[in-house]
């Protein structure tokens, strides 16, 4: 049975997060299952004792028996009320820990490959989405439902035994009908969850469109271009298209479910009639009828709807997470064969790009074509070229965020693919065009986990950002987002200075290594750019530095400049050499210089 397998998937997670809490939850489930049956039996006994006690009075043995029975009923009722919050507390803590563990596993799996090519694979992205989108409540709600359902199943089974004490054949009929209904419930929920799993691309699109309405970064264009109606309608269309298929799938299953429920209700009606008739003719006492009737309706706990759906959804999240982990661990595209630690001071001699070809997943054309380049260690290299020439792609390969399709990148004579990716990336500090603006403190944006010390100030000073940080309301401890109380936001240029400080901090921490700056002055004004460029190449001298920029004032002081066009290097030399050459670099430099030259 599918749901039984789903419960096992979830239950196996419990001892992994806490054995004591799992044991406590099991005890609560067992006691919580027994108490309602004991309460029903005690209530029946109390009802049966009333007529005799009325005749003899409360001081009689029958009266004392009634009093003791009523006290027992009260104790059992109080025990149920006391156990409920305890069970809820244990269940909530345990289920939330399971959810945290599963979500953490999916994050670790997505972050495990040191390259980022897998994050552009639609099949893998569907798995990542499945680890979150398939269950609104996540494993948290599913685990709670498993524990609650276990309690109800034990209680329902005990109730069925009490019904069997009244009429064994009635218990068999009732169990068979309820089992058929339960199977139909589970089949329906399993079909729905499986169907939803096949609709993940549509769900991902609808979530993205909803984000356009809620995300502050998209809010500007949504309003300026009048996209509000378009975004809402596209979201509605994507969501309805997916859900309509789900509703159509569900319609036939619901009719079969209703058909399976008819025998259960027929047997319940028959049972109530039999118990009432037997109580009237004296075959059973009034108290026995109360106990049997309570047990009869308690057996419905075996088929109560709702839990199975949440359990299926939560188990689907766990399965998608496990599948994601297996793919990441076994897919040859995601395994990195490099197992040699990089030299402590790499690169010491040079980095060589030899015959490299590369294309992004899903594209039919190469971004880089048989590219050859030598980058001397300890020198600065600038890369210029039109948009789409392959500049950013080249530095991503150098940082080993991707591996070349053909050719190789060699660091001090060793193929970069043979070097441990994590070790190499620890020696790379980079500021990309789309650098991240972390909604954390200024100190965290620069040092990330490092204890704040003079290195923060030194990096900020070299990036011309120290005065900016000191001017913040709480200095380094200022949260850089308006989404939290006391937080502030920065301008584009101010954010870029902090991103530069982050790269310089990392470069200092790794002892030099490779420093990559992709459009480092794009958000800076002319004065800030002059201040930054005037000292940057001096303070990074001795570090292997690669600068990508469209501003020739930024690149002209580099030790060497290469011009990239169509994925190939067409010119190389110093600024003066390239200007004298009169080629593509000279043409671009002249066009840019004319903007600042009086006609």
CA torsion 582→585→587→591, rounded to 10°? -140
Return the higher-pLDDT residue of 520 and 472: 472
Closest CA to 191 of 256, 123, 236, 98: 256
Give the list of residues 6+ apart from residue 16 with CB closer than 8 angstroms, or none. 101
Tokens found for residue 350: 């040079």
pLDDT at 570: 92
Q: Is 98 exposed, middle or buried (0-12, 13-18, 19+ CB in 10 A)?
A: buried
324, 369, 285: which is closest to 566 by C-alpha? 369
Token readout for 527 is 């004065």
What pLDDT does residue 220 have? 65
Domain 437-509 CATH superfamily:
P-loop containing nucleotide triphosphate hydrolases (3.40.50.300)
Residue-level pLDDT at 372: 92
**How confident is residue 337, by pLDDT bands cut at 50, 70 and 90?**
low
437-509 and 342-427+523-599 share a CATH fold: yes
- Write down the pLDDT at residue 563: 92
Q: Residue 429: pLDDT band by 50, 70, 90 thresholds?
A: confident
Band of pLDDT at residue 240, cut at 50, 70 and 90 = confident
Task: Give the Cα separation of 499 and 431 in Å (integer).
Answer: 6
Report, as an integer, the average pLDDT of 77-84. Answer: 83
Name the CATH topology of 342-427+523-599: Rossmann fold (3.40.50)
Q: Please provide the average confidence, as pLDDT, over all residues in the chain.
A: 79
Task: Give the separation between CA 571 and CA 563, rounded to whole angstroms.
Answer: 5
Give bridge partners of residue 431 from the DSSP assignment.
517
Rg (alpha carbons) of the chain, rounded to whole number = 35
Sign of the Cα pseudo-torsion (346, 351, 357, 362, in order): positive
User: In this structure, what DSSP letter does residue 301 have?
Assistant: G
Place of tokens 């294309």: 359
pLDDT value of position 526:
60
Q: What is the pLDDT of residues 588-599, one digit of tens each?
A: 888 877 765 554
Percent residues over pLDDT 90 in the chain: 8
Alpha-carbon distance values, 539 to 461, 507, 544 (Å):
11, 12, 12
Average pLDDT over residues 372-384: 90
Residues paired with 396 in a beta bridge = none
Q: How confident is the model at residue 82 (pLDDT cuts 50, 70, 90)?
A: confident
Q: Comparing 598 with 470, which gets the higher pLDDT?
A: 470
Model confidence over 257-287: pLDDT tens digits? 777 778 888 888 888 888 888 888 888 888 8
440-449 residue pLDDT tens: 889 988 887 6
**Residue 92 CB neighbour total at 10 angstroms:** 13
DSSP H or E stretch at residue 115: none
The two tokens of residue 171 are 């218990």
Q: What distances in angstroms separate CA 556 from CA 213, 431, 540, 586, one per listed residue?
A: 43, 19, 15, 12
Top-level class of domain 2-330: mainly alpha
The pLDDT of 307-312, averaged and rounded, is 69
CA dist 325 and 110 (Å) reads 8
Strand, coil or helix: what is 24? helix
Pair 41, 92: CB distance under 8 Å:
no
Check if the beta carbon of residue 406 is closer than 8 Å to that of residue 355. yes
Collapsed DSSP state (helix, strand, coil) of residue 519:
coil
More confident residue, 536 or 458: 458
Domain boundaries, the chain: 2-330, 342-427+523-599, 437-509
Token pair, residue 375, equals 């980058």
**Per-residue model confidence (pLDDT) at position 531:** 61
pTM score over 0.75? no
**pLDDT over 70 for what percent of the chain?**
80
Write out pLDDT tens, residues 484-534: 788 898 888 888 888 888 888 887 776 667 888 887 776 666 666 656 655
pLDDT in tens, 404-418: 889 999 998 888 888
Q: Note the pLDDT of residue 408.
A: 93
Provide the token pair at 196: 């939803």
Distance CA 417, CA 231 (A): 43
């Amino acid at each position: 049975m599918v749901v039984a397998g789903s419960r096992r998937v979830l239950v196996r997670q419990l001892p992994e997060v806490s054995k004591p809490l799992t044991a406590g939850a099991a005890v609560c489930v067992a006691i919580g299952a027994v108490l309602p049956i004991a309460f029903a039996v005690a209530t029946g006994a109390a009802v049966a004792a009333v007529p005799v006690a009325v005749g003899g009075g409360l001081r009689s043995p029958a009266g004392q028996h009634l009093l003791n029975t009523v006290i027992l009923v009260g104790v059992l009722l109080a025990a149920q009320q006391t156990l409920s919050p305890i069970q809820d507390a244990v269940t909530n803590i345990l289920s939330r820990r399971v959810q945290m563990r599963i979500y953490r596993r999916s994050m670790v799996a997505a972050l495990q490959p040191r390259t980022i090519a897998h994050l552009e694979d639609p099949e893998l992205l569907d798995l990542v989405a499945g680890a979150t989108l398939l269950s609104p409540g996540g494993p948290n709600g599913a685990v709670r439902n498993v524990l609650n359902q276990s309690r109800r199943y034990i209680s329902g089974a005990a109730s069925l035994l009490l019904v069997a004490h009244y009429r064994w054949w009635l218990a068999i009929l009732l169990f068979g009908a309820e089992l058929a209904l339960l199977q139909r419930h589970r089949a329906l929920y399993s079909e729905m969850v499986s169907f939803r799993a096949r609709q993940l691309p549509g769900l991902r699109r609808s979530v993205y469109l909803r984000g356009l309405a809620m995300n502050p970064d998209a809010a500007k264009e949504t309003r300026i271009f009048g996209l509000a109606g378009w975004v809402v309608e596209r979201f509605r269309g994507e969501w309805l298209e997916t859900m309509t298929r789900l509703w159509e799938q569900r319609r036939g299953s619901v009719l079969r479910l209703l058909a399976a429920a008819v025998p259960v209700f027929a047997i319940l009606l028959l049972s109530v009639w039999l118990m009432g008739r037997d109580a009237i003719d004296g075959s059973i006492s009034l108290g026995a009828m109360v106990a049997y009737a309570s047990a009869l309706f308690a057996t419905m706990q075996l088929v109560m709807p709702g839990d199975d759906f949440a359990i299926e959804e939560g188990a689907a999240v766990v399965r998608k997470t496990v599948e994601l982990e297996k793919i990441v661990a076994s897919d040859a595209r995601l395994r990195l064969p490099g197992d040699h630690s990089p030299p402590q001071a790499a690169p010491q001699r040079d980095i060589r790009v030899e015959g490299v070809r590369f294309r992004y997943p899903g594209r039919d054309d190469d971004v880089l074509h048989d590219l050859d380049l030598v980058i001397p260690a300890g020198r600065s290299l600038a890369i210029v070229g039109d948009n789409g020439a392959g500049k950013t792609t080249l530095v991503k390969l150098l940082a080993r965020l991707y591996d070349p399709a053909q050719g190789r990148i060699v660091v001090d004579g060793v193929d970069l693919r043979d070097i441990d990716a994590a070790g190499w990336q620890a020696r790379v500090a980079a500021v990309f065009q789309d650098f991240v603006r972390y909604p954390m403190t200024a100190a965290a944006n620069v040092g990330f986990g490092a204890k704040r010390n003079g290195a923060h100030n030194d990096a900020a000073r070299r990036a011309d950002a120290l005065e900016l940080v000191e001017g913040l309301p709480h200095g380094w401890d200022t949260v850089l987002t308006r989404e939290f109380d006391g937080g502030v936001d920065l301008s584009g240029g101010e954010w870029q200075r902090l991103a530069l400080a982050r790269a310089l901090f990392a470069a200092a921490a790794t002892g030099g290594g490779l420093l990559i700056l992709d459009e480092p002055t794009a958000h800076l004004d002319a004065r800030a750019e002059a201040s930054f460029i005037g000292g940057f190449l001096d303070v990074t001298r001795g570090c292997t530095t690669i600068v990508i920029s469209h501003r020739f004032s930024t690149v002209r002081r580099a030790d060497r400049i290469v011009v990239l066009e169509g994925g190939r290097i067409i010119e190389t030399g110093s600024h003066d050499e390239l200007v004298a050459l009169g080629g593509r670099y000279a043409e671009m430099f002249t066009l840019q210089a004319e903007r600042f030259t009086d006609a």
